[in-house]
Amino acid sequence: MKTIGQLSEALRLREVSSVELVQDALARIAVAQPRFNAFITVDADAALAAARDADAARARGEAGALTGIPIAHKDVLMTAGMRTTCGSRMLAEFVAPYDAHVVTRLRDAGTVLVGKTNMDEFAMGSSNESSYFGPARNPWNPAHIPGGSSGGSAAAIAAALVPGTTGTDTGGSIRQPAAMCGITGIKPTYGLCSRYGLVAFASSLDTPGVFARDALGCALLLDAMAGHDARDSTSLDRPPEDRSRALRESATAKPLAGLRIGLPREYFGDGVDAAVAGAIDTALGALRALGATTVDIGLPAVKHSVPVYYVIAPAEASSNLSRFDGVRYGHRAGHYTDLADMYCRSRAEGFGAEVKRRILVGTYVLSHGYYDAYYLKAQQVRRLIAQDFARAYRDCDVIVGPTAPTAAFPIGAKTDDPVQMYLNDIFTIAANLTGSPALSIPCGCTADGLPIGLQIQGNHFEEARILNVAHRFQQATDWHLRTPPGVESAVRKGGP
């Protein structure tokens, strides 16, 4: 599968049509779905109609860089007239009445929606195993997880089904699956992309973002979907940016000259797999060869990120998911005795185990007598973490380290130990707690061929900077171009 940039150029030169790209994507999905389970819903008729419109727009000379590019949305984003399930039985048959703001923005940019991708239920998970529709599988090894919660979106790109997808990142749910599937994924600054139409998990943390094979593809998608939305009180009103322009410029011999890379000692200690540590060290060598310098920094409060997150996120989830009561929409129990019994039975049947676990934890920490001890204290420590990062950026321009402490693990390996599952997000959570941008790019593989991710974090609104670092690294390496063994033969040969 070509990158978004390559497909955009092929469309511009009339070497391929959008209809042909969409037909190929639909054929690939049909063959790959039983193996990877990356999609929940596919709408072939609507996709082909949109592709014909895109080709007509190009014929009229009204096309942009993304016109005619097939994409898929994570199934937590509302899409008018299409199922939006959030990977849950609670919304298994719910058809969205309107589009999320980012869905509208990408539609207006000319992208063609082919379907909705699999995900952990209500975005609660790090492995995609909590989906009501079964786990998505990692194209590098279908016996392993693709990461979560946006696992289907990441798997769809790794399996060469579509060139771009959306995701949401609450504690690492874009970057962690990007790392485990060997692709590029970015979580932008909180508020840069509107949350309107994103089914809420944790409102102060949820951030829409994108996946692509490379940094340029992510930049093109992010440029299209970012923008102010008056319907979202947390949406930021900032001038439009062309983050992809600098990436398209020719590189000098030392394109990262002057860049200071911060290496937090807390990211390179115990718990990081030896293969991951080795790949990160090699990647740092490549960044230094491009002109960057590295400086040691400390983030002492970051060690509290996981416990802080697992107080704040469940508390907000408990509040947000109270709307699913079986009365207005969503699953309703078939048999009940009174209104209270209907609430209880509908929620017991509609929610899976992980969602119930987080609702119970969140309700507990918000309850009388525990609010100050847990939720308020977590918010105070969240501020300390943010202050650590603010101090660190006085000494460096970006912060680099592993995206996850290990590569993808086998399906079922951690389902009986939620704490071990939660610790998989130990390096990604801080960016959500601070609201700062971060991305993951592939930088190596384990001995058994599973991808390893490099995380690049920046200060608020520094998306262009971290994308440029990622792009220059990808110009000097080929990890982002590697595809899982057998994907082309298992899916379909001869596609664009």
Residue 472 has which token pair?
């220059």
Which amino acid belongs to residue 50?
A
Element of type H or E holding 106: helix 101-108
Single-letter residue type at 156: A
**Token pair of 443 as six digits:** 């930088």
Rounded (5°) CA angle 207-212-218: 60
Please choose, from the candidates 186, 174, 170, the residue with its C-alpha nearest in 3D space to the C-alpha of residue 223.
Answer: 186
Residue 270: Cβ within 10 Å count? 5
Residue 35 host element (H or E)? helix 18-36
Catalytic residues: 74, 149, 173
Residue 376 region by backbone torsions, left for phi larger than 0, else alpha for psi between -120 and 50, else beta:
alpha
- DSSP one-letter string for 329-385: SS---S--SSHHHHHHHHHHHHS-HHHHHHHHHHHHHHSTTTIIIIIIHHHHHHHHH
| The one-letter amino acid at 468 | N
Q: Residue 41 corresponds to which tokens in the numbers above?
A: 């819903």
